[in-house]
Amino acid sequence: MTTRTLNWGLLSTARINRALITPLRASERNRLLAVASRTKPAAEEYARQWEIPRAHESYEALLADPDIDVIYNSLPNHLHAEWSIKAMQAGKHVLCEKPIALTLPEIDEMNSVSRETGMVLAEAFMYRHHPQTLKVLEMVASGVLGQIKILRGAFSFTFNREDNYRNDASRGGGSLWDVGCYPVSFARTIAGAAPVEVFGQQTTGRKNIDETFVGQIKFQNGVYAHFDSSFTIPFQYFMEIAGTEGILFIPEAFKPGLNTQISLTREGKTEIIDVAGRELYIGEVEDMADAVLEGKPTRISLEDSRANTATLLGLYKSARTGRPVIL
d(C-alpha 77, C-alpha 63), whole Å? 19
d(C-alpha 183, C-alpha 238), whole Å? 8
Catalytic-residue membership of 218? no
Give the torsion sign (CA, 230, 280, 117, 31): positive
d(C-alpha 150, C-alpha 155), whole Å? 17
d(C-alpha 325, C-alpha 321), whole Å? 9
Q: Taking phi first (over 0 means left), then psi (-120 to 50 degrees means alpha), and beta for anything else, what does residue 207 get?
A: left
d(C-alpha 326, C-alpha 279), whole Å? 38
Phi, psi angle pair for 58, to nearest 5° = -155, 160
Q: Which of 86, 98, 135, 218 is catalytic?
A: 98
Q: What is the CA radius of gyration of the chain?
A: 20
Secondary structure of residue 111 in the 3-state scheme: helix
Is residue 35 within 8 Å of 46, Cβ to Cβ?
yes
d(C-alpha 297, C-alpha 244), whole Å? 33
Provide CB contacts within 8 A for 45, sequence distance 6+: none
Count of CB atoms situated within 10 Å of the CB of 60:
12
Count of CB atoms situated within 10 Å of the CB of 209:
26
Secondary structure of residue 59 in the 3-state scheme: helix
**CA angle 315-201-169, nearest 5°?**
65
d(C-alpha 259, C-alpha 132), whole Å? 9
Rounded to the nearest angstrom, the gap between the alpha carbon of residue 53 and the centroid of all alpha carbons in its chain is: 27
Active-site positions? Answer: 98
